[in-house]
Amino acid sequence: MSDKTFVDSNILIYAHDSDSGARQRQAAGWLKKLWQSQTGRLSVQVLQEFYVNVTRKIRVPLAKPTARDIVRNYGSWVHSETTPATVVRASEISEVSKISFWDGMIIAAAEQSGASELLSEDLNHGQMVVGIRIVNPFAL
């Protein structure tokens, strides 16, 4: 089993949202551990969702140049490309697991990047999907 941890956009957003209190501290703590161990993984989809949300949708939006710098830094966590095969795999995962296509894309990207865990608050903590354990860092 891999020691890689894939990070969903909601965790990345919380880590950079100064208005999210305890969740910001918890998410930032997880990301710091992943930086130190060099085990964090992301997809381009996660970075896209992050950028849009932190520049437009949070109460205190980040400046666009700041958000771009964060995307550049986290770019080193992207270890696989999204391909048509990724989309097909996501559709299979979403159908079999009865989850949204977009959650299927996150799990397909996590699987493709060799992750054994997915940090997310959008799925059930402890759930296994295609061999990837869902970890809600706020449920611990």
Q: pLDDT (tens digit, 9 = 90+) per residue, 44-93?
A: 999 999 999 999 999 999 999 999 999 999 999 999 999 999 999 999 99
Average pLDDT over residues 107-119: 97
Please, which residues bridge with residue 5 across strands? 40, 117
pLDDT digits (tens, 9 = 90+) for 29-50: 999 999 999 999 999 999 999 9
Per DSSP bridges, beta strands 128-129 and 132-135 are antiparallel
In which residue are the tokens 């299927």 written? Answer: 104
As a whole number of angstroms, the distance between CA 138 and CA 67 comes to 24
In which residue are the tokens 């490309």 written? Answer: 81
Q: What's the whole-model pTM score?
A: 0.95
The domain made up of 5-135 is a member of CATH 3.40.50.1010: yes
Q: How far is CA 54 from the centre of its chain?
A: 14
Q: Say if CB 6 and CB 117 are below 8 A apart.
A: yes
